[in-house]
Amino acid sequence: MNYFAHALPFLDRPYFAAATGIPDWLTVVDRKVRLRSKHVEPFLEDGDPQIAAVAGGILQHIRDDARFHGTRAFVETSAELTARVRDALGDVAGLRPAFLGHLLVEVSLDATLIAENPGEMDKYFEVLESVDPGRIEAAVNRMAPQRTDRLASMISHFLEVRILSDYLEDAKLVGRVNQVMHRVKLPAIPQDFAELLPGARRLVADRKDELLEGIPSSHMP
């Protein structure tokens, strides 16, 4: 799952909703900081409600991902998109079609939910604007085995660039995917990769309910 899918059911709980993005933000800016369930569970009943909410949001992310990646729909959809990537791009040296297939399921699901929930993407960013990134970073540093000094700035940057709207536009999404490819040191995809994206969105939209099986029901429009 990706940022919007994780946060959508919890937009009435700002620190909880924001915290569902923490594991992914850390993957972008500070991969050495790994949060496991055992790190955050002791803080669910913290006397500071913001700390407890941050712990709850992180744990929700961990549980959602476990359910999501364990569904038959994810395995099948990811495999189908992997095959489409392989057929379209051929034997590009170093390319990992399975990585792209996995990524396309997640961003296409966010695109589907954004399209089905008009106005909720703007609300999501309003929620992020209402929280204090420094407080979130401080909370994470109470929980994580290793400290980070990059999370707060990542949240501010995420708010500034608002990448989620790009998931609905083929050319812009190619650019976002290439940012991920660069970060994980894989070859860039060509611009004609955009031809795969409408079909990927349709495939994921058709299986949305199966992909979200066991996930909080307010993902549904």
At 17-31, the pLDDT tens digits run 999 999 999 999 999
Asked if pLDDT for residue 96 goes beyond 80, the answer is: yes
Using 50, 70 and 90 to split pLDDT, how confident is the model at 53? very high
Number of domains making up the chain = 1
Split at pLDDT 50, 70, 90, the class of 58 is: very high
Is 107 within the bounds of a domain?
Answer: yes
Q: Can you give the residue range of the structural domain that contains 9?
A: 3-215
pLDDT tens digits, one per residue of 156-165: 999 999 999 9
| Within a domain: 195 | yes
Is residue 137 assigned to a domain?
A: yes
Q: For residue 182, with 0-12 CB atoms within 10 Å meaning exposed, 13-18 middle and 19 or more buried, which class applies?
A: exposed
**pLDDT-derived band at 220, boundaries 50, 70, 90:** very low
Check pLDDT > 50 for residue 221: no
Cβ neighbors of 102 (< 8 A, separation 6 or more) are 78, 82
* Domain-embedded: residue 220: no
Percent of the chain with pLDDT over 90: 90
Residue 133, token pair as written in the block: 């990134």
* Structural tokens at position 91: 């034997």
pLDDT > 60? residue 137: yes
Q: pLDDT tens for residues 147-194?
A: 999 999 999 999 999 999 999 999 999 999 999 999 999 989 999 999
Tokens for 29, please give them.
Answer: 């800016």
Report the predicted TM-score, pTM, of the whole model to 2 decimal places.
0.93
| Confidence (pLDDT) at 84 | 95
Residue-level length of the chain: 221
Q: Report if residue 139 sits inside a domain.
A: yes
Angle at CA 37, nearest 5°, toward 17 and 210? 60
Among candidate residues 10, 23, 99, the one with its CA nearest the CA of residue 58: 23
**Positive or negative torsion for Cα 154, 159, 165, 170:** negative
Residue at 100 is within a domain: yes
Residue 221 is assigned to a structural domain of this protein: no
